[in-house]
Amino acid sequence: MHESPLAGIVVVELGDSASAPFAGQILASLGAEVWKAERPTGDSSRGWGPSIWRGDGAAFHAINRGKKTIRADLTDAGESDRLRRLIVEHADVFLHNLRPGSAARHRLDADSLRSDAPELIYCELGAFGHVGPLKDEPGYDPLMQAFAGIMSLTGEADGPPVRAGVSIVDFGSGMWSVIGILAALVRRGRIGAGATVNSSLLETAIAWNTIAIAGFHADGDPGSRHGSGVAFIVPHRAFPTADGDLIVSCANDPLFAKLAAALGHPEWSGDPRFATNAARLANRDELERLIGDVLRTGTRDHWRAVLRPHGVPAAPVQTIPEFVAHEQTAALGIIGPPPDRDDIATVGLPLSFDGERPGPLHSAQPIGANDADLDHLLTHREPTPGDER
């Protein structure tokens, strides 16, 4: 890729934990110059364990690469003013996930900043959203998975509510924020005006429940837990094999017919109990028992070899070490160390442009590593009327 999509765009990120820092890293991966402002004690994720790398949590290294890092003690008038100047005089985008009310206390709210920088894209990533009776409440990923019903649909049918094993709400909120920022930048290029973009953990959690919400409004069914499966497709779950679990997915009737033939039971596709997805849903337990009985007789690799020629989607349930070492993962080249020194392996941007993935980002920096750069920037460049930030 000859030029990064966001080359020349300056972003100031006042993010903590996961959601806003993840958004900042996406923007950095796309070529933006991202200044990460941290309180003197650092981003919370610097202290997240148990995995530690060079004194900070591996989580911090995972989502804070490619950024310039400055200290910003908002309780210190000088440091707060320095941050505000960086935003007003130089930034195209300001991104934060401060607790409700905190931005306004430090004159970092949208009205204050955009009155001085009308072309600024201001993105606030909140917890429960920017309106409503809970708008001032703090929140984290598991709270939103609980509040928005995700946990009511996650886990085994007879088990307790389960949080998704990865921070889908945090990372999803970061992605939605980036989508909003990019859309606002396109709009600014067209009409010359900035925008205030609001996203939140709760709105993201609600969005992930799009299908379940539609189902509830269609027939009043609140949904239920199906373990590795889903409510609306059968078969579409993990089945035990002789050496581990294998996900088999047949999202339509022709695929089920191919599965039945591959497993040596072509009669299943003509059986009235199983011929259509609606019939398979009504007879889920019986069909899954029959499929499970067959799959237990061979290994995961055996069944993948059997199913592949028939075009039946299937994948082994792998551990992190297994999929990291897999040849497909290696072929994608998405996992690797930063280019600047021998460092922890991290995940690159899951996008390619003209067949080329954006290059790896430099390592996450210590708190205040670029304070001198910021002081030089603010000292040696004074804005003039009409000057582009």
pLDDT tens across the length of the chain (389 residues): 568 999 999 999 999 999 999 999 999 999 999 999 999 999 999 999 999 999 999 999 999 999 999 999 999 999 999 999 999 999 999 999 999 999 999 999 999 999 999 999 999 999 999 999 999 999 999 999 999 999 999 999 999 999 999 999 999 999 999 999 999 999 999 999 999 999 999 999 999 999 999 999 999 999 999 999 999 999 999 999 999 999 999 999 999 999 999 999 999 999 999 999 999 999 999 999 999 999 999 999 999 999 999 999 999 999 999 999 999 999 999 998 777 767 889 999 999 999 999 988 999 999 999 999 999 999 986 554 445 44
What CATH superfamily is the domain 236-316?
A: formyl-coa transferase, domain 3 (3.30.1540.10)
Distance (Å, rounded) from C-alpha 171 to C-alpha 199?
12
Q: 170 catalytic, yes or no?
A: yes
Angle between helices 253-262 and 300-307 (to 10 degrees): 120
pLDDT reported for residue 16: 96
126 close to 186: Cβ distance less than 8 angstroms: no
189 contacts 92 by C-beta, under 8 angstroms: no
CATH of 10-208+331-380, one of 3.40.50.10540, 3.90.550.10, 3.90.79.10, 3.50.50.60: 3.40.50.10540
In the set 170, 293, 343, 387, the catalytic residue is 170
Confidence at residue 343, expressed as pLDDT on a 0 to 100 scale: 86
Where does the chain hold its CATH 3.40.50.10540 domain(s)? 10-208+331-380
Single-letter amino acid, residue 166? V
- What gap in Å lies between CA 359 and CA 336, rounded to an integer? 10
What is this structure's pTM?
0.92
Q: Is 56 helix (H, G, I), strand (E, B) or coil?
A: strand
The amino acid at 207? A
Question: Which residues are within 8 A (CB) of 365 and not within 5 positions of it... i.e. 6 or more apart?
Answer: 36, 64, 67, 68, 69
Which of 168, 15, 25 has the alpha carbon at shortest distance from 99? 15
Q: Where are the alpha helices (DSSP H) in the chain?
A: 19-29, 58-63, 77-90, 102-105, 110-116, 141-147, 168-191, 201-208, 210-219, 253-262, 277-282, 284-295, 300-307, 320-325, 327-332, 371-380
Bridge-based pairing of strands 33-38 and 56-57 is unpaired
Q: CATH 3.30.1540.10: which residues of the chain? A: 236-316
